[in-house]
Structures are given as C-alpha cells and as structure tokens.
Amino acid sequence: MNCRGVVRELSNYLDEALDNGLRQSLEIHLEHCEDCHLLVDTTKKTIQIFCNSEPLPLSEDVRKRLHDALLKRLCHHPKS
Ligand SMILES: [Zn+2]
C-alpha cells in the first residue's frame, strides 16, 4: 500500500468496508507514514464533528452542503 492507495481506500477504511488484507496493509502504511496518519486522523475527526452536528462557524450554505455530503457518504450509524 502506498499513499495513493490510502487516499483511494480512505472512505472504505473509515466505513470499515475494507477486507482484512487491505485494511491490514493500510494500517501498516499508516504506522510508517506520518502524512497518511494525519490524513486519516483529521478525516476521522471531521466526520465525528459533522456526525455530531454541532454548529460550525461556517456560512449556513457551506455548512449545510458539506454536512449533507458527509452524512450521505460516511455516517452510517446515526445516533438514535
Ligand atoms: Zn502515506
């Protein structure tokens, strides 16, 4: 797995939709590559923020579009 592979598989990884082999090689790469580690970490936090739906200091329009896009793509387990 290289950096490009991590970017390609990132949303599957965060969805926990990767098969074990792919997931493992991605995690091994993360241990050695600070850039990708940061990317995954930042993306996870961003998703958490959006999934928790705290208002952000962005314009209403931008926030809504981002939120909708992320929810559609990544938030598979809404809190009930
Ligand atoms: Zn990398």
Write out pLDDT tens, residues 18-52: 999 999 999 999 999 999 999 999 988 888 777 77
CB 73 within 8 A of CB 66: no
H-type alpha helices, the chain = 3-14, 20-32, 34-51, 60-74
Q: How far is the CA of 34 from the centre of ligand 1 (A)?
A: 7
Q: What is the pLDDT of residues 44-78, one digit of tens each?
A: 888 877 777 655 566 677 777 877 877 777 666 55
Residue 79: band (very low, low, confident or very high) from pLDDT cuts 50, 70, 90: low
Chain centre to alpha carbon of residue 22: 16
CA of 30 to the centre of ligand 1 (A): 6
Distance 35 CA to ligand 1 centre (A): 6
Please report, for the chain, the start and end positions of each structural domain, with discontinuous segments joined by +: 3-74
Determine the distance separating the centroid of ligand 1 and the alpha carbon of 7, expressed in angstroms.
8
pTM of the model: 0.62
Residue with tokens 């981002």, as numbered in its chain: 66
